[in-house]
Amino acid sequence: MRTLAVRQPWATYIAEAWKTIEVRSWRTDYRGPLLIPASGKPCIIDREDGSESLLPTQRLVCVVDLVDVRPWLRHEAAAACMAPEDWDTGYWGWHLANPRHVWPALHKGRLNLYQTDDAGIYYLPPGAHYLDAPAPADCLRCGHPPGPDWLDDAQTCPACRLVQPA
């Protein structure tokens, strides 16, 4: 799947459909599903209830549909989670739709668009959130990557049947 790494908190904003335009200095002719992993440093955000949340990085976050790429316009700043005074000419608005949360598997981002193997992408059920998924950890015996195929609420490896320590 085509992949575009995005820093936090914007990767989460895309997953929540708060950010529907990703602004880039370059364009692409590609349209279709786009995997969004969180890159950069961990980010702490303030919640409405006064608490704080840590948004993880180097994890898969969601898949969105890249529906259009066109010159970014000043009136689109809010959809890009930016202030109107941040607008400038020469940038491209990547228009995103239909975010679907995925299992937050480890993933080191890269620059530009790149390809990621579909085999490691697991969609979460509707209403499930990537931040609520159990912390991924490879099997201690065979190294099988985490995913929804794990048995007993992600305690037993489906490949070698080792029960992971709590």
Residue limits of CATH 2.30.130.30 in the chain: 2-131
Q: Tokens 């370059």 sit at which residue?
A: 26
Give me the residues of the chain with pLDDT under 70, please: 134-141, 148-154, 164-166
What's domain 2-131's superfamily in CATH? Hypothetical protein. (2.30.130.30)
- Report the amino acid identity of residue 14: I
Residues 6+ apart with CB under 8 A from 84: 74, 75, 77, 78
pLDDT of residue 56: 85
- The size of the chain, in residues, is 166
Q: What are phi and psi of 31, to 5 degrees?
A: -135, 140
pLDDT of residue 136: 54
Q: What are phi and psi of 147, to 5 degrees?
A: 175, 175
pLDDT of residue 104: 87
Q: How far apart are CA 2 and CA 10, in angstroms?
A: 18
pLDDT of residue 41: 82
Q: What is the SS3 string spanning the chain?
A: CEECCEECCHHHHHHCCCCCEEEECCCCCCCEEEEEEEECCCEEEECCCCCEEEECCCEEEEEEEEEEEEECCHHHCHHHCCCHHHCCCCCEEEEEEEEEEECCCECCCCCCCEECCHHHCCECCCCCCHHHCCCCCCCCCCCCCCCCCCECCCCECCCCCCECCC
Q: How far apart are CA 88 and CA 114, in angstroms?
A: 26
Q: How far apart are CA 13 and CA 17, in angstroms?
A: 6
pLDDT of residue 145: 72
pLDDT of residue 152: 65
The mean predicted confidence, pLDDT, of the chain is 87
pLDDT of residue 9: 93
